[in-house]
Structure 1
Amino acid sequence: MAKIAFILLCHKDPEAIIKQAQSLTAVGDCMAIHFDASAPRADFERIRAALADNPNVTFARRVKCGWGAWSLVQATLNALEAALDRFPRATHFYMVSGDCMAIKPAEFAHERLDAREADYIESVDFFSSGWIKTGWKEERLIYRHIFNERTQKRRFYAMFELQKRLGLKRRIPADLEVMIGSQWWCLRRRTVEAILEFIAGRPDVLRFFRGTWIPDETFFQTLVRHLVPEPEIENRTLTFLMFTDYGMPVTFYNDHYDLLLAQDYLFARKISPGALDLKRRLGVLYSSERVAFQISDEGRSLYKFLTEKGRAGHRFAPRFWETESSLGRERELLIVVSKKWHVAKRLIGRIREATGLPCIDYLFNEESCDLPDLGGLQSTMDKRHRHRRALMRMLYDYFGSDRLVICLDPGNLDLIEDFCRDRATTRLLQIDCQFSDDFLAGHATRVGLAGERTSEAAMARLVPTIRNDILHESDALRDAQLPGHVYLRELDPPEAQVQAVAQFLSIPAARAREITSDDQLYSD
C-alpha cells in the first residue's frame, strides 16, 4: 500500500505549518519539512519543538530561498534526501507548500497511487508547448543567471544584458530535452533515487540548471522524462491549481469547499490564509474514512466562464479587473495620503522597518515607482489606473501578504473612494502637514505650473492658489466621510501622533512610537 512522504517547502506561518504536518501525518504518512533559512530562526525552532515527538516528521538542511532561483530546487533536494533516509518505507514523494491542503482523504489518495505504477508530473516540451505565456523563454536557459531577480534586480538584468551584448550564450547538455511544467509533482521512490544518482554523476547537468532562471519548473520535469519510460509518466499534477489571465495563481476562499472536493485531484493550491472555515473543514478531511465524492472536474471551465462573463456574484472570485470587483474580503489595504510625498515615503519607510509590512510608494502617481514585474500591467500609469484592482491583487500575491501599505495623493479622491468601497478592509492615514510659501513655490515648479523664468509677482499670485487647492483636496477627502479615516497632524503632540499610527496599523503604541520618533519626519 502507498505511503506518502510529503516534501513541504515553507517560509512563514509556523502555526499553520504545525497543523498541516499534524493533519497529513495523522494517518501514517510522513513529511520532510524545509523551512526557509531566510525566515526567523525562532519560527523554525517553534515548528521543531511542536513536532519533536512526531516520528513521521523530519527536517531538511535549511538554505536561503529566492523566487526563481536554484535555491528552491536545492531545498527540495535536501528535503528529498532527508525523507529517503528517515522514511525507508515511503513509496511516493509528494511536493506541497504551506498554501496547499488536501481535498481528498488519505484512503482515497493511497488508492489512487496504488491503482497505477506511475510518476505524476506535468512535463511538456520547453520550446514548443506554449507553457510559458509571457516573458522570457530560451533566455531562461542559454544565459547564466547568478543573481536573484526579486532582490538584486539591477544586477540580474545587468548580467543578462552583458552576456547578450558579448554573445556569451551557453549550450544545453546535448543528451537532455528540456521540459517544463508545474513544480507540484508526486514521484515514486525509485524515480527520486534515480534522479539523485544521476546528478551525482553528472556535474555538468547540475551546473547547467544552477544557472537557469526558474529551474523549479524545468529541473525535475526534464530529469523525470530523461530517466523514466514514457508509459510510467502521468503528464499531470495531482494538485489542483488555476491561474488568472494575468498569470497569477487563483486563491481559494471559504465558499470554494464544494468546488474543490469535486475536482479530480488530491490537493489544492492556493488556500487563502484568511479562509479559516475552509482550512478547518479541509484539515479534518484527510483522516476521514468512507467519504463519497461526486467528481465533476468542472473547476477550470466554471472559473473561466464566470471570469469571461465578468460576473459580479458572491462565489468563485468575480472578474477582479473590472470596477465592480473585489480585492478580497480577507485582505487589508492601508492607504497613506499626503500632499508631501517625501513625508509619506519617509513614514512608510519607517513602517516597513518596524513591522515588515510590504509598502509601496505613489504607484498611481509616479511612473518611476519601484514595482515588481507583473507581466507588463505595471509598465505604464494608464495600465495601472485602468486595471487598478488587478494590479493590487497581483501585488498581494507577489508579496504573499494579505496586508499592504500604499501611498496616494489626496488629489486621487476617486481612486481612494473606489478602494474604500471594496469588500476588503481599507483604512486611511491622512497626513496633515504645514506648507510654507517656499515649499509651495517649489511644488509649483515640480508639477510644471511654474518655471525658471516665472516672475516673483506671478509666483506670489500662484502660491495662494496652490495653497487653497491643497486645502480643497483635504476638505473633499474629509467630506467623503470614508470609514477607517485617521489623521496624523504635524502640529499634534507626539503622543497623539503615536495613537494615530497605532490605530491605523493596528499595532501596540510602543511599536507606533518607534515609527513616529523620527525628528526629520516632516522636514522639507
Structure 2
Amino acid sequence: MARIAYILLCHKDTDAIIKQAERLTAVGDYMSIHFDASADPALYQTIRDALISNPNVTFAQKRIRCGWGEWSLVQATLYAVEAAVKAFPRATHFYMLSGDCMAIKSAEYTHQFLDDNEADFIESFDYFNSDWIKTGWTKERLIYRHWFNERTQKKLFYGMFHLQKRLGLTRKIPSDIQVQIGSQWWCLRRQTIETLLEFCKKRRDVIRFFRTTWIPDETFFQTLVPHIVPKNEIRTRTLTFLMFTDYGMPVTFHNDHYDLLVSQDYLFARKISADARDLKRRLGLLYSAKNVAFQISNEGRNLYKFLTGRGRIGRRFSTRFWETESTLGREREMLIVVCKKWHVAKRVLERIRQVTNVPALEYVFNEEDTPLPALGGIEKTLGKRTRHRRALMRMLFDYFETDRLIVCMDPGNLDLLEDFAADRSTTRILEIDCHFSDDYLIGHAMRVGLAGDQTSRETLRRLLPTIRNDMVFESDAIRDSHFEHHSRLRESASTDRNASELAEFLGVTHEKAHEITSTEYLFID
C-alpha cells in the first residue's frame, strides 16, 4: 500500500504546521520539514520541540533563506527530499506541500488512489510552445543569469538583466534537456525521486544552469521528471486543487467551502485561510476517517468563474471596426428571438417558418453546429461569428436575398443586442419569458459545467438561487436597455395576449400570430 512522505516548505504559523504534521502522520504517513532560515529561530525550535518525539517526522539537515523566484526554493525542497529519502525507506511517494495546504480526501482514499495510478503527477508543459506563461518574460528567464531577488533587490535584479542584454551575454540551455514548466505542487514515486537525486549529483552543469534561472521552482522538477521518466508514466496534472483570481493571486478557501473542496478530483487543496478554523477541523477529521464515499463532481473552477463573474459585468468604451465600417443596411429588418430555454425558442422559430416566409436561423452566436451556408469561412467558429457579427449578418441577408431575417440569441448576449440595435437597420426583439423549475435549473447547471452527476444536494440547493437570480438579471438588463422595438411572449400570459405581442414583432395579422401562439407544446420542457 502507498505510504507518503510529505515534503513541507514553511516559514510561519507554527501551530498550523504542528497540527498538520500530527494529522498527516497519525495514519502512518511521513513528513519532512524545511523551515525557512530567515524566520525567527524560536519558531523553528517550537516546531522541533513539539515534533521531536514523532518518529514519522524529520527535518531538512540544512536550512537556507528562501526568496520568491530564487533557486533557494528548489534547494530547500531538495534538502527536505534528501532527508525524507534517508529517514523513511518505506515511503513509496513524495508529495510537495506548503503550510496552507490541507487534505480534502481521507488517507484511505488517497492511498488507494496512488495504488491504482502507477505514475508521477506533475504539471509539465513545453516551456516555449505552451501558454502556461500568460504575460511577462519567457526566454529571458533562461538565457540570462539572475543572481538577485526581483522583489527585495529590484534595482540589482533589473540592472544586471539590462547589462547582460546590452552586452549580449546570453547563455545556452543544456543541449540534452527540453525545458518544461508547470505548478510546483507535485507527487512523485520513490524511484523517480531517487533517480532525480542521482541525476543532480552527476549533472552539475544542469544544476548550475537552474541556479541562475528566474522562478526555477516552476521549471526544475517539471523539466527533469520528463527527462528521466517515460512519458506514459507521467500524468501532467497536479493533485493539489488551487485556483487563481483575475489578479493572479491564489484563491483562499473558507469555512463554507467544505462541500466544494471534497467533491473535487484532487487530494489536497491550497490555500486554506488561517481563520477557517471549522474548515480545518472538518478536513482534519476527514483525513483519518474510514469508509468515506466521495462524490466527485469537479465543478469547482467553472463554479468559481461563474460566481465571481457576476460582479464584473463591464461596458466597452471604444467602437469595433465592424461598427464603424459596416452596417446591415438602412432598409433591412433584423428580428431577434431571445430566450434562455433554447428548445422553446427553436419551437417558436419552427412555427414561424411554417406560418410565414421569413428566413429564420437558430442560435447563430451560441451554438457552433447551427446550420449555416458557406460564407467564406466567417461562419466556421463562434469566435469568428461574434467578432464579425455585422459582416456575418449582412452576408446572410445577401445569401437569402431578403430584407427581413430572424435569428435566436441567448439573453446573456446583451452586447450583441445593443450592437445590432445601434445599427442603421431596424432591430426588433422578441423576448420569451419562461418559468424555470428547480429541475430545469439543475439540468442547466450540469449542461454548462457548474455541477455534475455527483454534486451534492446541499451544493445544488445553495447554487440554484444564484442561477435563478442570474437569469432574472439578464432579463432585467434587456428591459433596462429600453430597446425601441421590444415585445415579450410570456409563458404565464394568455394565448391571445401573446398573439398580440408576436403580431407586432413579426408584422403579421393577429390571426397568423394566434396560429403560432396557440401551439399546445410551445413551452413544454
Q: Per the shorter chain, which TM-score range?
A: 0.5 to 0.7
Calculate the TM-score normalised by the size of structure 1. Answer: 0.59
1:407-464 Cα distance to aligned partner (Å, 9 max, x none): xxxxxxxxxxxxxxxxxxxxxxxxxxxxxxxxxxxxxxxxxxxxxxxxxxxxxxxxxx
1:42 is matched with which residue? 42
2:202 equivalent to 1:194: no
Helix, strand or coil: the match of 2:201? Answer: helix
2:182 equivalent to 1:181: yes
After superposition, residues 19-418 of structure 1 pair within 5 angstroms as: 19-60=19-60, 61-310=62-311
1:312-340 Cα distance to aligned partner (Å, 9 max, x none): 9xxxxxx9xxxxxxxxxxxxxxxxxxxxx
Distance 2:112 2:312 in 1: 38
2:452 is matched with which residue? none
What is the letter of the counterpart of residue 95 of structure 2?
Y
Distance 2:154 2:284 in 1: 39
Helix, strand or coil: the match of 1:66? Answer: coil
Distance 1:114 1:311 in 2: 43
What is the letter of the counterpart of residue 121 of structure 1?
I
1:508 is matched with which residue? none
Distance 1:106 1:170 in 2: 46
Segments of 4+ in structure 1 off by > 4 A? none
Q: Kindly state the Cα deviation for residue 309 of structure 1 after the two structures are TM-superposed.
A: 2.3
Q: Kindly state the Cα deviation for residue 284 of structure 1 after the two structures are TM-superposed.
A: 1.4
What is the letter of the counterpart of residue 133 of structure 1?
K
Distance 1:252 1:138 in 2: 34
Helix, strand or coil: the match of 1:290? Answer: coil
Helix, strand or coil: the match of 2:115? Answer: helix
Distance 2:218 2:234 in 1: 17
Distance 1:80 1:233 in 2: 19
What is the letter of the counterpart of residue 303 of structure 1?
Y
What is the letter of the counterpart of residue 44 of structure 1?
Y
Distance 2:8 2:35 in 1: 8
Distance 1:14 1:215 in 2: 27
Q: Kindly state the Cα deviation for residue 216 of structure 1 after the two structures are TM-superposed.
A: 0.3
Distance 1:161 1:283 in 2: 49
Distance 2:183 2:135 in 1: 16
Helix, strand or coil: the match of 2:221? Answer: helix
Distance 1:282 1:157 in 2: 43
1:463-485 Cα distance to aligned partner (Å, 9 max, x none): xxxxxxxxxxxxxxxxxxxxxxx
After superposition, residues 3-14 of structure 1 pair within 5 angstroms as: 3-14=3-14
RMSD: 1.2
What is the letter of the counterpart of residue 298 of structure 2?
D
Helix, strand or coil: the match of 1:292? Answer: coil
Q: Which has the larger radius of gyration?
A: 2
Distance 1:160 1:285 in 2: 48
Helix, strand or coil: the match of 1:17? Answer: helix
1:276-312 Cα distance to aligned partner (Å, 9 max, x none): 1111111111111111111000000111111222289
Distance 1:221 1:263 in 2: 23
Distance 1:287 1:87 in 2: 21
Moved more, 274-283 or 162-171: 274-283
Distance 1:222 1:205 in 2: 11
Percent identity over the alignment is 73
Distance 1:293 1:282 in 2: 13
Distance 1:95 1:152 in 2: 28
Distance 2:271 2:140 in 1: 28
What is the letter of the counterpart of residue 284 of structure 1?
L
2:460 is matched with which residue? none
After superposition, residues 426-441 of structure 1 pair within 5 angstroms as: none
Helix, strand or coil: the match of 1:307? Answer: helix
Distance 1:311 1:63 in 2: 42
Q: Kindly state the Cα deviation for residue 185 of structure 1 after the two structures are TM-superposed.
A: 0.1
Helix, strand or coil: the match of 1:129? Answer: coil
Distance 1:95 1:46 in 2: 22
Q: Kindly state the Cα deviation for residue 117 of structure 1 after the two structures are TM-superposed.
A: 1.0
Helix, strand or coil: the match of 2:91? Answer: coil
Distance 2:101 2:72 in 1: 20
After superposition, residues 466-505 of structure 1 pair within 5 angstroms as: none
What is the letter of the counterpart of residue 127 of structure 1?
F
What is the letter of the counterpart of residue 206 of structure 1?
I
Helix, strand or coil: the match of 1:101? Answer: strand
1:135-185 Cα distance to aligned partner (Å, 9 max, x none): 111111110000011111110010111001111111000011000000000
Structure 2 spans left out of the alignment, 5+ residues:
315-525
Distance 1:293 1:116 in 2: 18
Distance 1:274 1:300 in 2: 23
What is the letter of the counterpart of residue 249 of structure 2?
M
Helix, strand or coil: the match of 1:28? Answer: coil
Q: Kindly state the Cα deviation for residue 191 of structure 1 after the two structures are TM-superposed.
A: 0.4
Distance 1:147 1:311 in 2: 38
**Would you say how many aligned residue pairs link Structure 1 and Structure 2?**
313
What is the letter of the counterpart of residue 42 of structure 1?
A
Q: Kindly state the Cα deviation for residue 134 of structure 1 after the two structures are TM-superposed.
A: 1.4
Distance 2:130 2:263 in 1: 28
